[in-house]
């Protein structure tokens, strides 16, 4: 799987959220001032080349839909984050989150409970 640029990732989040959509529909959901149609169309075609979206043609109109699940890209991104910034250690990531007060003890306890439940289920 390829990494996405910030612009590509923003469009992918929209496509995941809205489902099958056209470039014009994507643009209409963006904040003013709207980017040029050609810019968004180019980014969507790049997403298609990277294997994140596919399309159905209705005459000259293309409707794009995701072929990579958001969850799969989230896992990929998290693994890259951990590898790049936390020496590949999830423990280092969790320690960082706790230290920076981005994760409360209650949230940490919930994560531990989820891990224990998963281990019990095999």
Which tens digits make up the pLDDT trace of 14-54?
A: 999 999 999 999 999 999 999 999 999 999 999 999 999 99
Same-domain check for residues 114 and 74: yes
pLDDT of residue 34: 95
Same-domain check for residues 14 and 46: yes
Whether pLDDT at 101 is above 80: no
Same-domain check for residues 102 and 89: yes
CB 21 within 8 A of CB 14: yes
pLDDT band at 99 (very low <50, low <70, confident <90, very high): confident
Same-domain check for residues 49 and 74: no
Q: How many separate domains does the chain show?
A: 2
Same-domain check for residues 56 and 91: no
Domain that holds residue 43: 6-66
Around Cβ 87, how many Cβ atoms within 10 Å? 10
SS3 of residue 65 by DSSP: strand
Asked if residue 1 belongs to a domain, the reply is no
pTM, rounded to two decimals: 0.80
Higher pLDDT among residues 118 and 59, named by residue: 59
Average pLDDT over residues 3-13: 96
Name the domain boundary from 66, 90, 111: 66
SS3 of residue 51 by DSSP: coil
Q: Residue 85 and residue 64: Cα distance in Å, rounded?
A: 34
Around Cβ 40, how many Cβ atoms within 10 Å? 19
Q: With CA atoms as reference, report the closest residue to 22 among 48, 61, 52.
A: 61
């Amino acid at each position: 799987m390829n990494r996405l640029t910030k612009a590509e990732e923003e469009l992918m989040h929209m496509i995941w959220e809205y489902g099958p959509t056209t470039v014009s529909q994507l643009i209409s959901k963006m904040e003013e001032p709207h980017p040029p149609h050609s810019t968004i169309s180019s980014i969507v075609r790049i997403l298609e080349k990277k294997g994140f979206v596919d399309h159905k043609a209705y005459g000259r109109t293309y409707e794009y839909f995701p072929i990579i699940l958001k969850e799969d890209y989230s896992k990929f991104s998290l693994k890259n984050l951990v590898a790049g910034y936390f020496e590949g250690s999830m423990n280092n990531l969790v320690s960082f989150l706790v230290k920076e007060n981005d994760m409360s003890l209650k949230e940490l306890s919930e994560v531990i409970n989820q891990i224990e439940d998963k281990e019990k289920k095999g």
